[in-house]
Structures are given as structure tokens and as C-alpha cells.
Structure 1
Amino acid sequence: MQTLKHTLFVAAALVGLNSCNNDDDNQTTTPPVDTSVNFQFKSTINIGGEGSAEISAFDPSTNKLFTVNTESDQISIYDISDVNVPVLATPIDVSAFGAPNSVAVHNGKVAVAVEASNKQAAGKVYVYNTSDSSLANEYTVGSLPDMVTFTKDGNFILVANEGEPNDDYTVDPDGTVSIIEVANNTVTTLDFSAFNSQEAALENQGFRVFGPNADLAADVEPEYITVSEDSQYAWVSLQENNGIAKVNLQTKTIEAIYPLGFKDYSVSGNAIDASDKDDTNELKTWPVYGMYQPDAITSVNINGTDYVISANEGDSREYEGTPGYVGEDRVKDVTLDETAFPTSEDYQANEKIGRLKIALDLGDTDGDGDYDKLYNYGARSFSIWSADGALLYDSGNEIATRVLAETPDRFNWDWEDDATDKRSDDKGAEPESVEVLNIANQRYILFVGLERNSQVMVYDITNPVAPQFLQFLQKDTDFAPEGLLAVKAEDSPTGKALVIISYEDSGTVSIYENE
């Protein structure tokens, strides 16, 4: 495991005021809050085989950890009262309906998003009591519910329903967002049909609508949801489409879609390693664009301002049925415009950008059958956006640069081959997940999960436009972090903040404590 590097220590803040008695000199003070950051490994839970640990949720009232176990179509449950020795409890089985995708906890209730056996059919959200796993309620939601979360006030359960097509791409349900009102058990499922008329304008700003014969409402695939601190708004990542939607929870409407545009890899601060066949780990600038395409997103309010943070993983579509749809190819296998990409530069060589995978639906700007621009999937970074979709900060090539400097054996790594540089031609480290820990409203700590590198990077984002790197979290037996869960010190069984990491490929969950 990588030890702490570049740890920042901020002086502990005095949060109480001295109170004086006019009759004597007695004074009382509030103890200072420890805002130092140094996460250390405590234990690992082996949930099962590959794919068995995706997303976890924690209930502070029972000290139970609930983890999506897709191998067994269950929610695995562990008592982590002693974080060093988690104790297995009886799981929640949802296999009678389908497969679980996501789990969330609030105030003694655990919500589970379950896709139907027929993925294009309506899904379910089951709500259980955390104390005894008894079923409290169930709700019908949209097709393929992929992520579930509670609003901060607990009044709503929100669900991102991806609505993925079938393997033949002949059935493509609308992507939707379901709002479950807990008080009266009503379900409002919102689609994106109101934006069909805005498709061209959104595409001009970098949004993508590209599925065969799909309008915008069918093409969008809601991936992840984050909720504002005041529970008034939610933001939804539309990964394949390269956008984020904003939902007004007061009016139960989708208020806006924010196209995220493109990242220029010809700029020095955005340099990438674009080849897995160049026999070197080196960042260079190339005439290529990246699509942000966030997977997980999170939000935080710092000094009264909302920020949305995205893990810019990227994702392509590959459906190999008949007729199906395959949306990517390598640069060496497409025809390039000779003016934009002079043959003298030999861009299609393996050691240059020939191996790089690109989107086939973008780049033929003049419609003549060759590619005038090239667009790679993902942005190999994390970004911080305003509440209205303006880019405030992007980490550029900070992830790749930091990994090369401090853990070069994990650079664009592929754990199955235990080899560096294997993912350079795809999406690099693939930032998959993000989570924020608020320490006493004084420090805001960001965790960024790198799926391919099997690492979690820790940053201080107290100044959101100038994040500071703190440390790497990694363990040789944990592969592909899928879910990140931050537990505040006041909710933790140890009295210290925790970060709990669910690793999809290794089927493990590891617990780290802030010491």
C-alpha cells in the first residue's frame, strides 16, 4: 500500500467562544476539531467473485454496511462496529425480480435499485428497514434503474433509469429519472422528451445524440445522481451523451441539460499517452479531443456555493446483435482528412495515435467520409462545474502526471495483465467515481477512484478551483474501484472519518480510517 504523500495539515480551528463569568476567571472552551488528513488501511471484506462488489451504503444507527453483490443478486450486509473485523449478516435477496445495481441509506431505511430480468422493462426500488432487513415498501420506476439515492432531507428517493437498448438495438427505452416521494409513496418518472426540439442546439455545444433512429429522449442514458445540500435540486450525469441534466425537485421537472463540450489534447497541460504500443510511458500533445462523459458525479456546497464534481471516465456503445451498433474504432482503421492530418506526420502509426480509440459519430465535419477531427472517449480527469454547468476546474493531465511520478507501475495499468501502458489507447486511468468528505465545514476532501489503475486519489478541494493532492490509496488485492463512500467522524463507529471503497473486479470492499 502506498503511504501518505504530500499530506497537508491545517491548523485545528477553535469552534467555540470563550465565555467569561464576571465574578471569577473561569473560562470554558470547545475542544479544537482535528482537520488533518491521513487515511490508513483498516480491513478488507471479500464479498465474492468478480463483479460482486459495486456500490456500498452505511447505516450509522446500526453500523451496518450494505453492498451490491451482483454475482448473487443480493445486498451483502456486514456489521462494521469493529472496522478491523467486519461481521457477515444475512443478505437481502432480490433475485426473484432481477439484479441489483445500486443501494442507498437514510434514517434507518435502505433503498435498492433493481433492474428487471428483461432489462428494457420497468425496474423496481425496494426499501427495507436497516434494523432487520424487513421490506418496508416497493416502487415501480423506469427501465434499468442504475443508481439510487436519497435527498439530504430524506423526503425523496431519486433513481437514474438508464433505459439501455437490447443487444440488437431494436428496442431502446427512454432514459428517465424517477422521483419517489416518501411521505405519500408517489412516483413521478421524468423523461427528456421536452428537449427533443433542442437536439440540434445542444449538439452544437458538444452534446451527443447518436443511437440508431433515436431521438434525444430515447438516446439519453441517466447514469448517476447527486443532490444539493438543501435538497432543492439534483444533477444527473448523461455519460454517453456528454452532458449533465439539472432537476428541480420542487417542481419535479428537468430544468436544463448542460452539454459538457470537449477537451483539447493538443494543449500542453492536457497531454496524454495515446498508444499502448510505443514502448514508453510518456505524455505528448496530439490533435485529438476528449469527451468529458462523466460516470459518477457528486456535489458540495462550500461557503454558500454549489459545485458539481465529475469523474470523466468516458464510455462507448457496443451492441453486437443484428443490426446492433458499434460506435468506436482505432485511428489507424479510419480515413483521415489529409489537410487536417498530413500524411507526412504518419499519425496512424501505432507509436503515434494509430492505436487510439475514437468515436465514429463525430469528426467528419464536412460530410465527405473522412475524419477532420478526432474524439477520444473520456477526459482522463476530474472536473469541477458550477451549478449551471460552467467548467470551473479540470485536472488536465494531473492524474497521469501524478501516477507517473509516484506510482509508475500503475500507469494506465491493466490489472489482469499486471502491465503498465495497456490502457493508454483506450481511456487511460478511467476516473470512475468521486466522493466528498466534509470535515467540520473547514476542509473538503475529494476522493477520486481510478478504475483501471485500481487506485483512489485523495485531494483537498477546500479551494475548489485549486485542488491539492494529498495521497494515494491502493492495495495489491483490490481491483477496479467502482463505489466510494465517505463516512463522517460523527457517524463512524470509530469516531474517526472513514472512506469505504467497493472494488468491482476483485469483489472486495476495503475500509480506510483517517488517523
Structure 2
Amino acid sequence: MSVKLLSMTSVIAIAATSATAEMNFNRSSSFATFANNVDPSAESSSEIISASADGMTLAYSDSPLGVVGFIDITDPTAPAAKGNINVGGEPTAVSIWGDVAMVGVNTSESYTAPSGMLKAYDIKSMSEVASCDLGGQPDSTAIAPDGSFITIAIENERDEDAGDGRTGQLPAGYVVTLEIADGLPVCDSMVKVDVTGLADISPEDPEPEFVDVNAAGEIVVTLQENNHIVVLNKDGDILNHFSAGAVDLDGIDATDERAALVFNESQMGRLREPDGVQWIDGDHFAIANEGDMDGGARGWTIFNKDGSEVFEAGNSFEYAIIQSGHYPDKRSDAKGAEPEGMEFATFNGTPYVFILAERASMVGVYDVTDPSAPVLKQMLPSGIAPEGAIAIPSRGLFVTANEADLVEDGGVRSHVMIYEYQDAPASYPQLTSAGADQLIGWGAISGMVAGDDGMVYAVNDSFYGYQPTIFAIDTNVQPAQITSALPVTRGGHAAQKLDMEGITRDGEGGFWVASEGRTDRMVPHGLYHVNSMGEITEEVALPAELLAVEKRFGFEGVTLIGNTLWMAVQREWGDDPENHVKLVAYSLESKEWGAVLYPKASPDTGWVGLSEIVAHDGFVYVVERDNQIGEAAKIKMVYRIPADQMVPAALGSELPVVTKEAVRDLIPDLKSNNGYVVDKVEGLAIFDDGTAWVSTDNDGVDDSSGETFFWSIGQL
């Protein structure tokens, strides 16, 4: 079957409505999985997650370590480590009944010789209490709502590096059920369900991916690569099966071509290839359409168990991600945001489906009171690559397990994130393009400047090298809204070789933009005069005295004092004293260059540099930050310098050193988002009345959760 999408206008309207709808889930805390490790520097991960009967303990599968990790959430605002259990293989899933965690464990020697176990652990004594041989490689697990049995998808996954990486690689997968008695799985009750010969795609090699059980004891299973869905009972009787179908997609980015957010392409007949599946009621279930092999349907669907399609999200979910600044352009081109995991639960009488977008690191929260017309209530930020989720309605909690752990790159660690169902407005997103006249993709926000009537102007950096843009942001509404996007052009085409890191108004309706150079990428350091139409009208190269000592870490902000532009240099150049950086001046009248020195902090780890510069009311404000993340972050500061000290000396001479005064420590602000402390505070804008706004750069959602924080720090 093939489904036509809503028009672009309709989808934008839906997303805009969701941005103003009542939103009740807010993140209350995060738990870094390395806190459970004997060696915190070892790679770890949180993938599939479950909760104890009382909702006080979480258990998550940790594939890199071969363990199941446990978290005490007695106080959900302060989760505490409870340690790990080594399961003797790769844990692929965990489901808890009472105080027993049942874990699917992959013990396969190879793709052609798969094996696995279902192991059960008492979470109070942290000891193994049962072990059942499954005969193949388990993927997901699900326990019947009445606790009478557990079902496991035995995937026997394909080797993506073998041949053309497609299905048709035996042995075939299957589904098993085991009875539960006295809280433990009964190994000799195992029923093996043959699901070969059902799908149109590789019928001889089914690869069951995800399972769920409804109140009637009916099991729904997705055969992802086979693009098929099977409904059966615990005795192994197949009640129904049907193709997951396909979707026609319009208004998407489908080409691995450019660093730009352009959504003007189409793909017809994209297979859904569902991953996650959840029952909504006795007749309806939802699937998350990841599209692992050939697909890329990018959304999610609701079916009746009779095989009839009830709802198709089309690209509306992806559009909500785009408007939130989370579209993962670098990774996404063929398959979009890749919805993968999902959860269903009822909170205060309202049934919700939670859709996890792995590559966008977001969760869509939908009211499914009417399964034929779900309503997007909000978009939640998550850690990098949300893989699993669990709802605990009895405690008003929702939890995500986020798989990516970037320890080897010194980046963000894997986190479990906890959200509370609150009578409060949504705390995220803090910046959105929902409600604009057209679909606006955005990300990698860098320098900012305040305009009139509550408007802020911001630039994106070189992550979107084919799409340099000046964004207009209305701070009079909440969340702040990107109302327009002005392309920066040269000769009528998108300007190339720019890394826009700073912007200031020219007083004539246009802007000056500072570009940070990258000589290894042939991007010059420079200043650019941009008119109100976005056209570059003047380009100012650096003088020989600066180029002789230049390094990659160039201009990170620009401001105008009288007729002089001042630029902050991020880090030391060749002639700078240690822990001092230049504030560079350029006179628009005389065309002369000069500089002063700014004393920055000495880093304990990594580096410390400047990210922004803004002149206001007798002072010059700068953002000084380290490049550290999470608990390692120590310096995210706003300082100010008396403007009368900004007297430039000639380049090459002895430069005067200015003094600085601390204005605000931004780390408490960043911690108040209840995630991890992000690295890049890069934007500062100050209005005439002294009200200041700060923003962070989300690195284009590349090795980043995509979270952009945009907030006011009040009047300076």
C-alpha cells in the first residue's frame, strides 16, 4: 500500500499548532551511565530500559560492557547509581516483572551460528535466578500485562557486510514465548513460532525486530527488513499478518549532497521497515518506521490489527524536528531522522504515544485519544541516539535510554534521561521556527546581535557551508520564534567559503559579519558587509601583520563601537602571550587595524577561548568558555571590559592588556535544563535596555544531541 502525504502547508500548520499546545512533560534529571562503571573511562551505553513494579528502580541494557545497569530513582530529580550485573554476553533487551529483570542475551559466535539466552535476575539481591536457552540471537522482549508470559523476538540478524548486505542470510529468525510462574520464566514451556513464508521480502529469512503484548495476550511483532507485521497469540497461532506498506514522500531532503537544509525533494514508495511497535488498545498498534535496509519512511503509523491503516504521520514528525533545530542533515540524507523506539502509556486518562527519533535525538509526544487523528503535544530533547523508553504513569515519569557514548572523542557520554508529567509549561524547545510562513530549517547558531522591538539576528556557522543564513528571532514570544531566514549571497548565489561566527548591525539596515578562517579548508579570515537583502557588498581581508601570526582559531564575534569594528579572536595566535588573546579593531573610516590583549583563564583540560563580543552602555561584554562537556565543564562565563580601555595599539607593537569583571556564570543556567552541560555557548545579544539573551551552538546535530538553548539572563 502507498500513502500520499499532507501538503506542506498542512504539515507546517500542524507543527505550528503543536508548538502552542499545552505541554506537560519536562526533563527533571539525567544519569550518565559511566557512573555505574568500575572504570568510568570505559565505553558504556544505555539502550533498552525497564522499571521495577514500584517504579523506583530502572534497569538498562549496556551492550559495550556486557552488563545490565541499575539506577535508583526514588528521587527522580537525583538518580543514583546501583551498579551493574555482568550477563555473560551482549544484553539486547530487558523487561522487569515485579523485582525480576528478564534479559535477552546474545551469545552468538557468528551471524551464521546465532545463539542466545533469556536470563533472569533478582534486582534486590542482584543475583541470577533463571537461565533459558533460546536457540538464537534475541532482540526485543515483552512481558504480557498480566505477567503470565514473556515473548522474545529472535532476530538472527543479517551481516550487513556480507554480499550486498541484504536479507536472505540464513538461519531465519523466529518468535518465542515462555510462561512465567512465581515471577520466573519457565524454560521448558518455550514455544517457538515459525514466521517464515509470510513476507513478500525474503520470506525464507524473517528478522523479527520488536514485540509487544496487549491485555488480551495478543503479540504483535515487526519483521523490519522484511517490511512485515505479524499478530499471534502466546500459543504460537498466527492470527494475522500483512505488509507494513510504503509511503510517498514530498518536501524532504533526500540527497547526500550538501551541508544545507533544503527540503524540496520527493521519494515514492518508501518502505516503512518498522522497528518499534506498541499496542495502543486491544485493536490498534503503532509502529516507528526506521527504514533500516531499503526504507526511509521517516514517520510512524497506526494500524488496526486486521491490517487496515488508521493513521500515517508522513513527514509531519520530521517537520516538527526540523522546526526544533534537530534535523540531522549530515547523517540523514536517505533516511531522515529515523524513528526507531517508542513507548505507549496513559497519564491522567490521556493515552500517549512517544516516538523516538534516533538521529535527531528527540521524542515526539502524541495524544492518541483518537487513533485516527493523533495530536502532537510536544517535542522532548533527549541524549544522543535515544534507543529505548519506559513510562511509569504511577509516578508521572517517562524515561529515555540514549545509546551513543562518545568517550573516545572526549564528547558526550551515554545518558538515561528522566521526565516528569507536570502542570507546567514546556521548558523545551527554547527556540523554534514553528509558526513561520514557510518551513525553516536551522541549526549551528553562532553569533548574535540585538535589533529593535525584541528582535535578535543570528548567523549559522560553516556546518551549513552551502547555506550561510541570517535568522531573525522574535524574543517577544515563548519559545522564541525564528520568523525569517535571509540567505547570505555573493553575486546572487549562496556565498561560499564563509564560517560566520559573529554579526553586528551596521546602523543602515545591514550587517557586518565576522568569518573565522580555516586555511586547511581554504576559508579565509575576514569581515563581510552584508546589505538588508543578504548580498555581500564589501569584503575586508586581514592585514599582513595578522596573517603572519594567524591560526585556525579566528574571529568569534564582532561588535561596532562608533566607527570601529571589534572582533574577538578565539584563542592565542602566534605572537600572543600564553592565556591572552587579541581583541582586534578595524576602523571603518581610516581602514587601520589595531588590537588589545584580553587575559583569559588557564584551562585545566582542553582549551579556553572567546566566543562572542558585544558593546553596550560603556562596556564590552565577552563570552569566555572552555570546550568541556558535562561535569568536566568549568568555564562558561560572561565578562565585561570598560569601554575606555578599548584603545587599540598598532599591530606588531606591545599591546595593552584590558581588565575584566565577571558578570554571569552560565553553568547554573545550563544545568537548569536538567540534561548535561553543553559545550558551545556562542551567542550573546544585548538590547538597549540591557536585557541580554544567550544561545548555544548545537554543532548541526553532528555528535550532538541537537539541543539549542536560547534564554534571557535578564538586564545587565
TM-score > 0.5 by shorter chain: yes
Q: Which has the larger radius of gyration?
A: 2
What's the % identity of the aligned pairs?
30
CA contact (8 A) 2:174 2:208 kept: yes
Measured after TM superposition, the shift of residue 8 of structure 1 is 4.5
- The answer to whether the 8 Å contact 1:242/1:291 transfers is yes
> Of Structure 1 and Structure 2, which has the larger fraction of its residues in strand?
2
Equivalent residue number for residue 189 of structure 1: 192
The CA distance in 1 between the partners of 2:332 and 2:83, in whole Å, is: 42
Go from structure 1 to structure 2 and tell me whether the alpha carbon gap of 1:378 and 1:130 turns closer, same or farther (over 3 Å shift).
same
1:410 to 320, 323, 326: 326
Instruction: Indicate yes or no: 2:346 matched with 1:438.
Output: yes
- Secondary structure, counterpart of 1:136 in structure 2: strand
How do residues 362-511 of structure 1 correspond to structure 2 at under 5 angstroms?
377-404=295-322, 406-407=323-324, 409-411=325-327, 413=328, 421-440=329-348, 442-475=349-382, 478-488=383-393, 490=394, 492=395, 497-506=396-405, 507-511=414-418
Please report how far the alpha carbon of residue 138 of structure 1 lies from its aligned counterpart in structure 2 after TM superposition: 1.1
The corresponding residue for 1:12 is: none
Q: 1:466 to 1:181 in 2, by over 3 A?
A: same
Question: Which residue number corresponds to residue 245 of structure 1?
Answer: 230
Q: Distance in 2 between matches of 1:437 and 1:182?
A: 23
Indicate if the aligned counterparts of 1:156 and 1:179 stay in contact, CA closer than 8 A. yes
Tell me which amino acid in the other structure corresponds to 2:222: S
Output the CA distance in 2 between the equivalents of 1:312 and 1:259.
Answer: 13
Which residue, 119, 140, 144 being the options, matches 1:147? 140
- TM-superposed deviation, 1:55: 0.9
For residue 91 of structure 2, what is the amino acid of its counterpart? P
Change (3 A) 1:115 1:284: same
Deviation at 1:117, TM superposition (A): 4.0
> Which of the numbers 236, 243, 260 marks the counterpart of 1:259?
243
Contact kept, 8 Å, 2:356 with 2:387, in 1: the verdict is: yes
SS in 2 for 1:182: strand
For residue 284 of structure 1, report the CA deviation from its aligned partner: 2.9
Task: Write the distance in 2 (CA, Å) between the matches of 1:434 and 1:401.
Answer: 18
1:41 aligns with 2:27: yes
Does residue 94 of structure 2 align to residue 110 of structure 1?
no
**One-letter amino acid matched to 1:153:** D
Unaligned runs of at least 5 residues, structure 1: 10-36, 210-215, 317-358, 360-376, 414-420
Query: CA–CA distance in 2 between the matches of 1:160 and 1:229?
Result: 19
Return the letter of the residue paired with 2:315: N
Question: Is 1:122 aligned to 2:120, yes or no?
Answer: no
1:447 and 1:283 mapped to 2: Cα distance?
25
Instruction: Judge conservation of contact 1:146–1:224 (CA < 8 Å) in 2.
Output: yes
Which residue of 261, 281, 285 corresponds with 1:281? 261
Q: CA deviation at 1:292?
A: 0.5
Question: Is residue 292 of structure 1 aligned with residue 279 of structure 2?
Answer: no
- Render the CA deviation track for 1:89-116: whole Å, top value 9, x for unaligned: 2321112xx2111000112221000011
Give 1:7 deviation, angstroms: 5.9
**Contact 2:53–2:97 under 8 Å retained in 1:** no
Q: Secondary structure, in 3 states, of the residue corresponding to 1:295?
A: coil
SS at structure 1 position matched to 2:119? strand
CA contact (8 A) 1:7 1:38 kept: no
Unpaired segments ≥5 residues, structure 2:
1-16, 35-41, 406-413, 423-716
Cα distance change, pair 395–106 in 1 and its aligned pair in 2 (3 A): same
Alignment of 1:127-142 (within 5 A): 127-142=120-135
Q: 1:312 to 1:126 in 2, by over 3 A?
A: same
State the secondary structure of the residue aligned to 1:152: coil
Q: What's the secondary structure of 1:410's corresponding residue?
A: coil
SS of the equivalent of 1:399 reads: helix
Alpha-carbon shift at residue 173 of structure 1 (Å)? 1.5
Is the Cα–Cα contact under 8 Å of residues 232 and 240 in structure 2 kept in the other structure? yes
With structure 2 as the length reference, what TM-score do the two structures score? 0.51
8 Å Cα contact 2:108/2:137 also seen in 1: no
C-alpha distance in structure 2 between counterparts of 1:153 and 1:82, whole Å: 28
Question: 2:108 touches 2:115 (CA, 8 Å); kept in 1?
Answer: no
Whether contact under 8 Å (2:286, 2:300) holds in the other structure is: yes
Q: Which amino acid aligns with 1:300?
A: I
Q: What are the Cα deviations for residues 345-403 of structure 1, in whole angstroms up to 9, with x where unaligned?
A: xxxxxxxxxxxxxx4xxxxxxxxxxxxxxxxx121101111012221101011022222
Q: Relative to 1, partners in 2 of residues 1:155 and 1:60: Cα closer, same or farther, differing over 3 Å?
A: closer
CA distance in 2, matches of 1:289, 1:281: 23
- More deviation in 135-144 or 447-456? 135-144
1:135 partner amino acid: E
- Whether 1:101 and 2:92 are equivalent positions in the alignment is yes
Counterpart CA distance in 1 for 2:292 and 2:18 is 31
Q: Could you report, residue by residue, the CA deviation over 1:141-183 in whole angstroms, capped at 9, with x for unpaired residues?
A: 1411011111111111110000124564796222011101123
Report the residue type matching 1:398 in the other structure.
Answer: S
The residue aligned with 2:283 is 306
The question of whether the paired residues in 2 share the 8 Å contact of 1:481 and 1:501 is answered with yes
* Residue type of the alignment partner of 1:436: F
Q: Matches of 2:309 and 2:153 in 1, distance apart? A: 23
What is the distance in 2 between the residues matched to 1:505 and 1:312? 20
Question: Residue 5 of structure 1: CA displacement?
Answer: 6.0
Q: Counterparts of 2:381 and 2:43 in 1: how far apart (Å)? A: 18
8 Å CA contact 1:142–1:176 kept in 2: the answer is no
User: Structure 1 residues 429 and 438 mapped into 2: Cα distance closer, same or farther (>3 Å)?
Assistant: same
Number of residue pairs aligned between Structure 1 and Structure 2? 379
The aligned residue for residue 59 of structure 1 is 52
Counting only pairs closer than 5 Å after superposition, residues 200-279 of structure 1 correspond to structure 2 as 202-203=199-200, 208-209=201-202, 216-217=203-204, 219-231=205-217, 233-249=218-234, 251-265=235-249, 270-278=250-258
CA contact (8 A) 2:28 2:76 kept: yes
Contact map agreement 2:244 2:274 (CA 8 A) in 1: no
Whether contact under 8 Å (1:62, 1:131) holds in the other structure is: no
CA distance in 2 between counterparts of 1:468 and 1:83 reads 27
Give 1:153-192 correspondences, 5 Å limit.
153-165=146-158, 168=162, 172-183=170-181, 184-185=186-187, 186-192=189-195
Aligned counterpart, 2:75: 82
Whole-angstrom distance in 1 between the partners of 2:169 and 2:239: 27
User: Over residues 11-53 of structure 1, what are the superposed CA-to-partner deviations in whole Å (9 max), with x where a residue is unaligned?
Assistant: xxxxxxxxxxxxxxxxxxxxxxxxxx51111111111366611
Deviations 1:465-501 (A, max 9, x none): 11111111115xx20110011111x2x2xxxx11101
Q: Is the Cα contact below 8 Å between 2:33 and 2:44 reproduced in 1? A: no
Q: Evaluate the alpha carbon distance shift between residue 289 and residue 179 of structure 1 in structure 2; reply closer, same or farther with a 3 A threshold.
A: same
Residue 71 (structure 1) aligned with residue 64 (structure 2): yes
Q: Which amino acid aligns with 1:73?
A: G
Shift of 1:279: 5.5
1:136 Cα offset (Å): 1.9
What secondary structure does 1:128 align onto? strand
CA distance in 1, matches of 2:267, 2:385: 30
Separation in 2 of the partners of 1:239 and 1:260? Answer: 9
